[in-house]
Amino acid sequence: LEIPRLGEMIAFRKVFDYIPPDIAMDEAFVEALVIKNGLSVQYAPDAVVYNTGPTTIPDFVRQRRRNHAGHLYLKHKYGYAVSSIQNRRVARIAFNEVWGVVRLLWVLFLLAVLEAWSRVLGWYDFAVKRDRHVIWNMAWTQKQDVQSIRRQYEKPSI
């Protein structure tokens, strides 16, 4: 995870006595204090948190508006910018994600073209050539040494 985010569940060393009453984004404030005290923010990929989010567009906008205003206030008053407010960084990550989707769609399109071409050829064999492929032309690259491939992916036994 390139940008660890604090939010629904956090654990931290006690580096403060209280959260000021003017702070709406308490997790971001804790993040700022943790980093200010020389500690780091870590992401726990195995952690499981059950939570719900907004289920309507107005509630989504209300929540995101409140969060952004709170992050801007934190940056203005305390000089700390949470990672998601760094627009260039977020834009770069978003672009990379979109580019990954474009590449996936391109590969899926090419696979669909190959499948369509194979079906046209199969139809031609069946309808025109009357070839049922009872004796077929083998796809040699499909017939690999399965045992050696399997050994590559097996974990060594103890």
Residue 49 has pLDDT above 90, yes or no: no
Q: Are residues 71 and 99 in the same domain?
A: no
Q: Are residues 45 and 100 in the same domain?
A: no
Predicted confidence (pLDDT) per residue in 56-114, tens digit: 999 999 999 999 999 999 999 989 988 888 889 889 999 999 999 999 999 999 999 99
Residue 146 has pLDDT above 80, yes or no: no
Residue 125 has a pLDDT of 95
Question: Is 135 among the domain residues?
Answer: yes
Question: Is 158 among the domain residues?
Answer: no
The total domain count for the chain is 2
10 Å Cβ neighbour count for 29?
A: 23
Query: Domain end: 51, 85, 119, which one?
Result: 85
Supply the range of the domain harboring residue 110. Answer: 89-153
Residue 117 has a pLDDT of 98
Q: Are residues 58 and 30 in the same domain?
A: yes
- The model's confidence at residue 135, banded by pLDDT at 50, 70 and 90, is confident
Q: Are residues 50 and 101 in the same domain?
A: no
Q: Break the chain down into helix, strand, coil percent, rounded to 5.
A: 55, 0, 45
Q: Are residues 81 and 29 in the same domain?
A: yes
Q: Are residues 2 and 36 in the same domain?
A: yes
Q: Are residues 80 and 131 in the same domain?
A: no
